[in-house]
Amino acid sequence: MGLFSEAIGVYDASLRSCTTAEESEQRQFSGDDIERWMLKCLIDLKMSKNLISAQLRPEYIDLLFAISEWPEGWGLYFSPSPIMPIYHSPCILIETHVDQARGLVLAATFLIRGFPLMLCLGRPEDPTTIGLFRPEALFLKHSQCEKVLVLSWLGGPMGPPVVLERSGTYDGPPPNWKEWERNG
């Protein structure tokens, strides 16, 4: 996960000045490992008592250690907001989505250097409202330059690639973050 996060930062920094196609490159990552890292973060939050008011299903441990296969529709979604830009940030933010009636974590949004990834821990009624399921790649573009984060998936379907165009020069936490989120 560290290499994935680092690649996002390196790619974003290089796209600020990229003007030629010769500067294009790609790196490959295991989408399955990213899902398991996200799940491990949720389990760690629960075990450290930083996630108090919500429960995790016991079968999440089997998913973490690849003892069980992920149920259909569960897993990583790239979930951008259609009205909000993505701001590059050196931060990671985790926000849980809890079924209040059952007190159960059903999903969690992870902003990893500004990239909106969601780990869905249940089958959504309409997956298209959440985002793109298990994308095959994340294309970062600016001018003639293209940087690609290829995601490999061992089992199950692979979604279409995500294409992001860099516009602007802002770096830092999203302007709509609260002050405590900005400063960690």
Q: What is the pLDDT along the chain (184 residues), one digit of tens a residue?
A: 999 999 998 888 888 776 555 578 999 999 999 999 999 999 999 999 888 888 899 999 999 999 999 999 999 999 876 566 777 778 888 999 999 999 999 999 998 988 899 999 998 888 888 899 999 999 998 877 889 999 999 976 689 999 888 877 676 666 766 665 655 5
| pLDDT value of residue 156 | 63
| pLDDT value of residue 52 | 83
| pLDDT value of residue 138 | 94
**Owner of token pair 């990583």:** 76
DSSP alpha helices (H): ranges in 48-183? Answer: 60-64, 179-183
Strands 115-120 and 75-78: antiparallel
The CA-atom distances, in angstroms, between 69 and each of 36, 60, 118, 175, 183 are 12, 10, 18, 39, 38
| pLDDT value of residue 18 | 65
- What pTM value is reported for the model? 0.88
Whole-number Å distance between alpha carbons of 94 and 88: 16
| pLDDT value of residue 166 | 81
